[in-house]
Amino acid sequence: MNASLSVVAPGLYTTIQDLGRFGYQDVGVPVSGALDALSLRAANRLAGNPENTAALEILYQSPVLEVRADSVRVGLAGGDAELELVGERPRQLGGWRSLSLRQGEVFRATQLGDSACCYLAVEGGFAVEPCLGSASSYVRGGFGGFNGRPLRQGDLLALHRERVEDRGEIRIPHPPPHERDRPVRIVLGPQEDHFTDEAIECLVGAEYRVSKNADRMGMRLDGPLLQHRDGYNIVSDGIATGAIQVPGSGQPILLLADHQTTGGYPKIATVVSADLAAVGRRRTGDTMRFSIVDVATAERLRRDQEAEFQALMSTVAPAAAATGLDLDVLYRTNLISGAVSGHE
C-alpha cells in the first residue's frame, strides 16, 4: 500500500507550501510559499525535516485527515492550534509539537485562535513533484503542490515514509507571541513620491483593518484612503512581497506570497521582511498600524529575528507531560486496549 493521508474534510483553503519558488519571477511566476514562513520552518523542525520541506498550510479552518500508512509523525506549528484526534472521544494533544499517529487514526488541528494560518508537516514530507524547483501551490496558475489547487474531500496525499522514525516526540514549550499589537514596520517606497504628504502621514497615523477581500495574493486594507499626487498609473515595474500598492480608489493593498511579479500601481511602502510572517498571520477584521524604519534598520530587524528563531528552536524539548507521565504513552495503552479506538 502507498502511504498517504486521506482528506476526510478539506478545511477552508488548505494548500501545500514550502518556502517559495525562486528564479522564475522574470517570466511572471510568483514566489508563492508559506504566508508565515517561521511557523512552517518550526513545523518542519518538529517533524524532523529540513526547514524547506513542503507542508500543509491551513487557513482559518483545518482539514480532517485520516492516516493511511503504518504510522506517520506530524509536526504542527502556528497560532494556538492544537492537534486533535477525532472520534467518539476527541482528544486535544497540544500544538507546537510532534505526534505519531497510526493507521486509521483521524485527526485535525483545532481552532487557530488569533492566527489566520498554521502548518502541518509530516516526517519525510509529502510525495509531491516539485514544479519549477518548488512544491508550493500556485493556485491561480494551477500548478505546484497537490494538482495546483487547494485540498478537496477524498484527496490522497502521498507520503514519502511508510512509518515513523523510532524516536521520542518533541515540542516547543513556549511558542512565539503573535505580535498582533506591535506596529508593522515598513520602508517607504519605491514610489512614495507619487503620494501626498498627507497620505504618508495617514498611513503611519491611522489604523487599518484587514478587509474580507484578503487571500494569498494580498489583503485590501480598510481605513483612510491614500491620495496620489498626480495620477495612479505608473509604468509597470517589479513588486516585492510586502509591497503596499495603492490603486485609483486610494484603498491600499498589502501584497502577499502569491502576488503578481509586476504591476502598474504605485507602491507607497513595503513591509520589512521580519514582519511578513506577522502580517501573514493577520485575519480578516484584524487591525494594523504601520511605523517607518530605514532599510538598514529593516535588515538588522531581520537578523535579530533570525537569531530569535534559532534561539526558539534550541528550546525544543521532549514532549513529556509535566507530571513525568507521558500522556501519549498512556493514551496509546488505551488505544491498544481498544478502550478509545476500535482501529486495533
List residues near other proteins by CB under 8 A.
Answer: 22-29, 131-132, 141-143, 186-191, 234-243, 260-263, 267, 270-274, 295-296, 298-299, 301-303, 306
Give the DSSP letter string of 209-224. EEEEEE-SSEEEEESS
How far is 58 from 150, CA to CA, in rounded Å? 10
Provide the 10 A C-beta neighbour count for residue 28. Answer: 10
Burial (CB < 10 A; 0-12, 13-18, 19+), residue 50, is exposed
Residue type present at position 96: W
Comparison of 64 and 131: residue with beta carbon closer to other proteins: 131
Comparison of 22 and 317: residue with beta carbon closer to other proteins: 22
Does 90 sit behind a cis peptide bond, omega within 30 degrees of 0 on the bond before it?
no
How far is 31 from 316, CA to CA, in rounded Å? 30
Residues in contact with 163: Cβ distance below 8 Å, sequence separation at least 6, in sequence order: 3, 69, 70, 71, 72
Q: How far is the CB of 181 from other proteins (least distance, A)?
A: 22
Q: How far is the CB of 225 from other proteins (least distance, A)?
A: 22
Q: Which of 116, 139, 79, 112 is nearest to 210 (CA)?
A: 116
Q: How far is the CB of 119 from other proteins (least distance, A)?
A: 21
Provide the 10 A C-beta neighbour count for residue 12. Answer: 11
Comparison of 151 and 272: residue with beta carbon closer to other proteins: 272
Comparison of 295 and 336: residue with beta carbon closer to other proteins: 295
Q: How far is the CB of 190 from other proteins (least distance, A)?
A: 4
Comparison of 79 and 280: residue with beta carbon closer to other proteins: 280
Q: How far is the CB of 23 from other proteins (least distance, A)?
A: 5
How far is 56 from 281, CA to CA, in rounded Å? 15
Q: How far is the CB of 237 from other proteins (least distance, A)?
A: 5
